[in-house]
Amino acid sequence: MINIKVVFIVVFVVVSIVHILLVVNFATQNQKIATKKETVQKLDLRNVTVAPKPKPKPKIKPKPKPKPKPKPKPEPKPVVKPEVIPEPEIVQEPELEIIPEPEPVKEEPKLSATEIEIIESQYITEVKMAIEKKKYYPKKAKRLKREGTVKIKFTILKDGSIKDITLQEASRYKRLNKGALKTLNSIEKFNPIPDELEKNSWEIVVPIEYRLR
């Protein structure tokens, strides 16, 4: 029983102490608040200067941005039409015709040198006879009884036509020489050169004799 009493006494004492501390603390707080109020009331409002409102700064107008220059419109590029490449035509290969080989031509036997000489001699005789038929004897040379032999050189072509007529060997008399040249120029052509001679042209020298009968 004694212990319970002691406990109650201790508790009572502790509670009392706590209560006292709370009261003291509350009183202290009220005193501080009253002191602050008095300090505020003592401030003299006359000595308080109100700072003037700052003047508003003038608004700086932004500089107008320069209008961008219009960019030149690019010229339209010419439209290049694609080349239309025509499809290659399909060429059909022609059918190969089988051509029979021609029969070999039988070569005629070549003439001997003697036979060729005979043909040449016959042809020259024909030429001389044709010249003799056309021979021109100048009248004045006949009257003066001029005689002589004139050798004329000329070329006979394959068809018998004549070219390059020249005086190969002259006589003593000019009239006879001129008469011989005139004779050849009056002949259009001789007989064609024989095929057996295999000549396209033939240079010949023929003597023309002027004799009075």
Q: Is residue 91 part of a domain?
A: no
Whether residue 21 lies inside any domain: the answer is no
Distance, in Å, from the CA atom of 141 to the CA atom of 138, rounded to the nearest integer, reads 5
Name the more confident of 108 and 15: 15
Picking from 32-36, 85-89, 167-171, which range would have the lowest pLDDT averaged per residue?
A: 32-36
The shares of helix, strand and coil residues in the chain, as percent rounded to the nearest 5, are 40, 15, 45
What's the rounded mean pLDDT across residues 127-148?
94
Asked if residue 167 is part of any domain, the answer here is yes
The per-type count for the chain, helices as H runs and strands as E runs, is 4, 3
Judged by DSSP in three states, 171 sits in coil
Please indicate, yes or no, if residue 175 is contained in any of the structural domains: yes
φ, ψ for residue 190 (rounded to 5)?
-100, -175
Number of domains in the chain: 1
Query: With 0-12 CB in 10 A as exposed, 13-18 as middle and 19+ as buried, what is 57?
Result: exposed
Is residue 204, in this structure, part of any structural domain at all?
Answer: yes
Identify residue 110 by its one-letter amino acid code: K
User: What is the pLDDT, as a whole number, of residue 12?
Assistant: 80
Contact 187, 132 (CB under 8 A): no
pLDDT per position as a tens digit, 199-208: 999 999 999 9
Q: Sorting pLDDT into bands at 50, 70 and 90, what band is 118? A: very high
Q: Pseudo-torsion of CA 7, 9, 10, 13, nearest 10°?
A: 160
In angstroms and rounded to an integer, the radius of gyration of the C-alpha atoms of the chain is: 78
Task: Note the pLDDT tens digit of each residue in 51-104.
Answer: 566 666 666 666 667 676 767 676 767 666 666 677 767 666 666 667 777 777
pLDDT value for 149: 95
N residues, the chain: 213
Closest to 137 (Cα-Cα) out of 128, 146, 125: 146
Instruction: Identify the CATH number of the domain in which residue 176 sits.
Output: 3.30.1150.10
Task: Return d(Cα 6, Cα 11) in angstroms, integer.
Answer: 9
pLDDT at 130: 95
CB 181 within 8 A of CB 165: yes
**Residue 187 placed within a domain:** yes
Asked whether 154 and 202 are in contact (CB, 8 A), the reply is no
What is the pTM (predicted TM-score) of this model?
Answer: 0.47
Q: Which domain holds residue 166?
A: 114-210
- The whole-angstrom distance between residue 19's C-alpha and the CA centroid of its chain comes to 120
pLDDT band at 32 (very low <50, low <70, confident <90, very high): low
Q: What is the pLDDT of residue 33?
A: 60
Does residue 69 lie within any of the structural domains? no
Distance of CA 167 to the CA centre of its chain: 62
| Averaged pLDDT for residues 9-21 | 78
Tell me whether residue 145 is in a domain. yes
Q: What is the pLDDT of residue 40?
A: 42
